[in-house]
């Protein structure tokens, strides 16, 4: 598997990059790839079908100049920023046909990520549909996007994140896993322990991502930014 550790300057570029890696794989220009990145400043990311007015506290985002963008995959809104490690993995249907089943895709990817993080803390559990938690407290949310020959699976790992931001910028999600038990963000979410460098190294080892990706799809990323991720008509469309 190829490996890319690259954070681009803007939220739009970083979200576009994940989708560009998927599209590049679809065109045959890229193999299976693991990407890691960490934002330089906070922003909100809503899911492909999220309703912004329901999931996001827009008044607080505007007051604090926190951008709200929409990703290409499903799931509910998240807040990310410094202290939140983002990962994305592009996987081939030809090499992993079982992953056409959504539940198998969640299980496969989360088991790999879990195995990486258990080297740092042995108390990692897969909870709900696509969460990772330590005991009752979530530290990772994940989502996926299918294409014809590949899928994109990406998510968050809260590590040294200022957790109060989540309640400030997000409302209660419209769908909640049973294990949340009605808890608010403050009681439900926690940071995962361990140094960020060790988390990155463990993820790379767990995915056997040994081949550096020297040429990333910069033109495709720029086009996605121009056409979609910089546009209110995409980010705030619902």
What residues does each domain of the chain span?
2-235
pLDDT tens, position by position, 72-108: 999 999 999 999 999 999 999 999 999 999 999 999 9
Cα separation, 224 vs 219, whole angstroms: 9
* Average pLDDT value for the chain: 96
Cα separation, 227 vs 82, whole angstroms: 27
Look at residue 41 and give its three-state secondary structure: coil
Q: Domain 2-235 classified CATH 3.30.930.10? A: yes
Q: How confident is the model at residue 131 (pLDDT cuts 50, 70, 90)?
A: very high
pLDDT tens, position by position, 163-191: 999 999 999 888 899 999 999 999 999 99
Cα separation, 61 vs 238, whole angstroms: 17
Q: How confident is the model at residue 238 (pLDDT cuts 50, 70, 90)?
A: confident
Q: Report the pLDDT averaged over residues 16-38.
A: 96
What share of the chain in percent tops pLDDT 90?
A: 96
Q: How confident is the model at residue 44 (pLDDT cuts 50, 70, 90)?
A: very high
CA-based nearest residue to 2, from 15, 21, 26: 21
Cα separation, 189 vs 183, whole angstroms: 9
Specify the pTM. 0.94
């Amino acid at each position: 598997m190829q490996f890319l550790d690259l954070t681009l300057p803007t939220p739009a570029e970083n979200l576009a990059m994940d989708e560009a890696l998927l599209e590049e794989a679809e065109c045959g220009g890229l193999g299976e790839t693991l990407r890691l990145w960490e934002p330089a400043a906070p922003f909100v990311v809503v899911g492909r079908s999220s309703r912004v007015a329901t999931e996001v506290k827009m008044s607080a985002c505007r007051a604090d100049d926190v951008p709200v963008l929409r990703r290409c995959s499903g799931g509910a809104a998240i807040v990310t920023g410094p202290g939140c490690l983002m990962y994305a993995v592009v996987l081939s249907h030809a090499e992993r046909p079982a992953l056409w089943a959504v539940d198998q895709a969640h299980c496969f990817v989360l088991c790999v990520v879990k195995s990486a993080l258990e080297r740092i803390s042995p108390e990692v559990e897969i909870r709900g549909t696509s969460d990772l938690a330590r005991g009752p407290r979530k530290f990772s949310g994940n989502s996926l996007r299918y294409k014809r020959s590949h899928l994109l699976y990406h998510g968050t790992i809260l590590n040294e994140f200022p957790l109060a931001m989540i309640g400030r910028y997000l409302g209660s999600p419209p769908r909640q896993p049973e294990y949340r038990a009605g808890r608010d963000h403050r009681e439900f979410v926690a940071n995962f322990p361990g140094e960020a460098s060790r988390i990155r190294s463990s993820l790379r080892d767990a995915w056997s991502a040994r081949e550096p990706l020297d040429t990333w799809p910069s033109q495709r990323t720029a086009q996605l930014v121009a056409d979609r991720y910089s546009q209110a008509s995409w980010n705030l469309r619902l």
